[in-house]
Amino acid sequence: MSTAANFARALVFSDFTEAHALLSTQAQQRYSAAQLQQAYADMTSYGDGPGAVDGHVEFMDDWPARQSQDIGWAYVSITGAGFIEAVTVVVAEENGAAKIREIEWGVPDLPRSTLTF
What confidence tens digit (pLDDT) does each residue in 55-100 have? 899 999 999 999 999 999 999 999 999 999 999 999 999 999 999 9
Average pLDDT, rounded, for the chain: 92
DSSP annotation string for the chain: -HHHHHHHHHHHTT-HHHHHHTB-HHHHHH--HHHHHHHHHHHHTTSEEEEEEEEEEEEES--TT--TTEEEEEEEEEEEETEEEEEEEEEEEETTEEEEEEEEESPPP--GGG---
Considering the entire predicted model, what is its pTM?
0.89
Which domains does the chain show, CATH number per domain?
A: 3-105 (3.10.450.100)
